[in-house]
Structure 1
């Protein structure tokens, strides 16, 4: 295959494609991000509970003002915590509207505001109650701890939330293995459970017989039920139904292997190319480690029962993924998903541009296999340090030939002039995204690759005039 960087023209020149081919169809779908609206509406509903109970009357005195503000802070903080849990529950309606990684990104953004509101709740309540009883806030907290049976749980809860928020900070997460972070993150459930009892045992807002009590019980129980159903029951049912096992492991390039899996009812998973699943390989030392990998090839069913094979391709990026290269044939596999918007369902334009780097090329291969487009309406750009790092490159080349896509290989060392998604030779030749895909502003753009590289590419994509609703990407990091 030809290098794409052998061009004597600069600036306005389009790089020479590896090959341009012919192929078929398309589809259109619209999506919008409503998470911010959802958060505000949810908090407004929580505060409305208090206002409907005559809570505003508390502002008549200074002590009452502190207490009222504390109640509002507690309602808002707890409401945001429940929303965080729903965003992490992998609800299909949220996943199909905004995508898995955007939902988790918003989940993380709510962490600090939730914690600050809950801490403010405790301080303001202690101050307000203390002023009414002639005690300082610390003495009031001690009094509540002694006199109210379940108040100690409410005081322990913020400490658990602090541990979760601190370990969620990027700088802290990177110092510890995923398993440590995940174990600490489970404290979120303990923090929520310890915060709930005092909400119903103290104060009049959620007293027995009030409609506010039933509303709050409903959203607490509903959130818990959603977590159990989508994070526990559905994965168990999918694992039992599909009965996936490792068929073979094949080396694809430097540090990368493809894992071919056999199973039942795989026809139900077809059409999810590009979307990712959570995989657990039930082998000693590996069964507890979840891996978010996309399919690198669509499931192939061999008979009417849907028995067949599917494939994922992974790279050795750590201890967990390194174990996968040594998996034995017959190893059973647990599965969750599919998740995300990195699929044909996100299409909104006739033209499509797919950009992948490193192991992020493999979801591009699966997406290319099923994405509908007319001949000449698709551009595929693969980025690697060398040709050997263009994983599954031969398969992608063959798909482009059959389907009519234009294929570019951007290989070579990174540019020393700053962060860029291209190679040094491409940058020095004056190439931009529009050099590869002149119609990019009127295209759906799919991008998958390492986080820093993806940020650079996304910046270039937006600079080329691509609206956010036409930009589709997933980050699989935790």
Structure 2
């Protein structure tokens, strides 16, 4: 059965009401499940927030508990004490930044990979300012006590105090990392340059540690501070080593992925199929993304974040199964993937992100995609649970040719009873906030025209950044709450 929403010229509704592929649980059970998982995620988010800010408070509190404030008896000692507090807070924020970028599952499944990196980026400037303040205040305080200006005192510390030169090196590295992370600066250099410079964060942390334990009695043996900082530094290092290095190595070894076929979908768009073992353990649960490294000359060092465009197939007689990503030529990195050869080995990390069923809060679901952003929705549509009639899919493209995997999505919608709209045509040139085709805008259509019950639905949005922001604004205007909108960014 097909219906068509009128009078919007670019909108084609392809609806089917066949039985779903797999048995689905009852609506009441799904609703309770989504409510519980949302509540648990909120509780985890609160716990992580308290833990993060509590760590900063603990660093200062332990300094006070070890008698830090008792030495304040002059202007010089007051400057020195303020410098110590700034250094403790700044270093704690740096460790939090590293943990946010460590891809720890509890963080990823609570706030999502993109929000974790957003917080990571936002902590960059405050941590740098605190560390700069630490150096300036310490030099001022020491200088006042010895009758020297801050610059002369800094030179004396560099020359005379063991390990202090490493602190100056650490500060220079932190400045380089923060400056290259600024959006205006990042746009001037290729991703590979920024990524390499960003790795200096680890060197900056490593060179900052020696002077903390060797200079003065701040972290003297037997103090609570010493054990606290040893514990959080070891824990941070272990998390980075396990989740960023060991776990990807184990996953790559376990699944033994190789490229089996590269097939054209549309001009500049290809399906990359890979075969491997135990791929059910690698499933992204629809929409979540992986980081792929294709182990070929010129490619092995370049990470590519792509979502699955199809869930892994059932294993064959030899235990191998197949999964698939869909890639569009958007630049030099992705252009090289168009020419991948079958047999190329693949290293994999993930899955990551909240763009999946784990983010659901409602029974009803709306999926809105544009361009290559359509392809993760295909996997999500395949796997996320919903009853016939409770899902709506909106695909946006300049033409039908840009509705990538459109035939597969149509088949899934017919099979599972989801409404499908093709929103094709040019955009409104003078309306920067429009995400609909020009004809639909002129006809007075908005998001609620296609999904009248959208305020009671989860909304998954995937597409170009500006377009996605416009869709998010339209969803908010239609009464959709922030917790119901799910959108993953890859431009941090």
Instruction: Give the TM bin, normalised by the shorter chain.
Output: over 0.9
Counterpart CA distance in 1 for 2:180 and 2:73 is 41
Q: In the alignment, does 2:21 pair up with 1:7?
A: no
Counterpart CA distance in 1 for 2:305 and 2:329 is 14
Q: How does 1:403-442 map to 2 (within 5 A)?
A: 403-416=416-429, 417-442=431-456
> Unaligned stretches of 5+ in structure 1?
none
Q: CA deviation at 1:294?
A: 0.2
How large is the RMSD of aligned CA atoms in angstroms? 2.0
- Aligned partner of 1:341 in structure 2 is 354
Distance 1:78 1:181, change over 3 A: same
Counterpart CA distance in 1 for 2:468 and 2:249 is 33
Distance 1:119 1:352, change over 3 A: same
Q: How does 1:134-149 map to 2 (within 5 A)?
A: 134-149=147-162
Q: CA deviation at 1:203?
A: 2.7
Counterpart CA distance in 2 for 1:136 and 1:98 is 46
Q: In the alignment, does 2:318 pair up with 1:315?
A: no
Q: How does 1:194-233 map to 2 (within 5 A)?
A: 194-233=207-246
- Aligned partner of 1:18 in structure 2 is 14
Distance 1:132 1:5, change over 3 A: farther
- Aligned partner of 1:112 in structure 2 is 125
8 Å CA contact 1:242, 1:264 repeated in 2: yes
Counterpart CA distance in 2 for 1:250 and 1:3 is 33
- Aligned partner of 2:288 in structure 1 is 275
TM-score relative to the length of structure 2: 0.92
DSSP 3-state at the match of 2:312: strand
Counterpart CA distance in 1 for 2:411 and 2:72 is 71
Q: CA deviation at 1:271?
A: 5.5
Q: CA deviation at 1:37?
A: 3.9
Counterpart CA distance in 2 for 1:391 and 1:134 is 71
Listed one character per residue, the Cα deviations across residues 328-366 of structure 1 (whole Å, up to 9, x for unaligned) are: 010000000000111111111111011111111000000
Q: CA deviation at 1:267?
A: 1.7
Counterpart CA distance in 2 for 1:477 and 1:171 is 13
Distance 1:3 1:318, change over 3 A: farther
DSSP 3-state at the match of 2:325: strand
Q: CA deviation at 1:118?
A: 0.4
8 Å CA contact 1:5, 1:410 repeated in 2: no
Q: CA deviation at 1:420?
A: 2.2
Q: How does 1:160-171 map to 2 (within 5 A)?
A: 160-171=173-184
Counterpart CA distance in 1 for 2:327 and 2:451 is 28
Q: CA deviation at 1:38?
A: 4.0
Q: How does 1:31-430 map to 2 (within 5 A)?
A: 31-32=41-42, 33-34=45-46, 36-270=49-283, 272-303=285-316, 306-416=319-429, 417-430=431-444
Listed one character per residue, the Cα deviations across residues 144-171 of structure 1 (whole Å, up to 9, x for unaligned) are: 1111111011011111111111111111
Q: CA deviation at 1:56?
A: 2.4
Counterpart CA distance in 1 for 2:71 and 2:456 is 56
DSSP 3-state at the match of 1:299: coil
TM-score relative to the length of structure 1: 0.95
8 Å CA contact 2:173, 2:204 repeated in 1: yes
8 Å CA contact 1:15, 1:435 repeated in 2: no
Instruction: Pick which of 23-32 and 233-242 moved more.
Output: 23-32
8 Å CA contact 2:12, 2:423 repeated in 1: no
Q: CA deviation at 1:288?
A: 0.6
8 Å CA contact 1:7, 1:16 repeated in 2: no
Distance 1:406 1:144, change over 3 A: same
> Unaligned stretches of 5+ in structure 2?
none
Counterpart CA distance in 1 for 2:369 and 2:338 is 22
Paired residues, what number?
Answer: 474
8 Å CA contact 2:13, 2:420 repeated in 1: yes
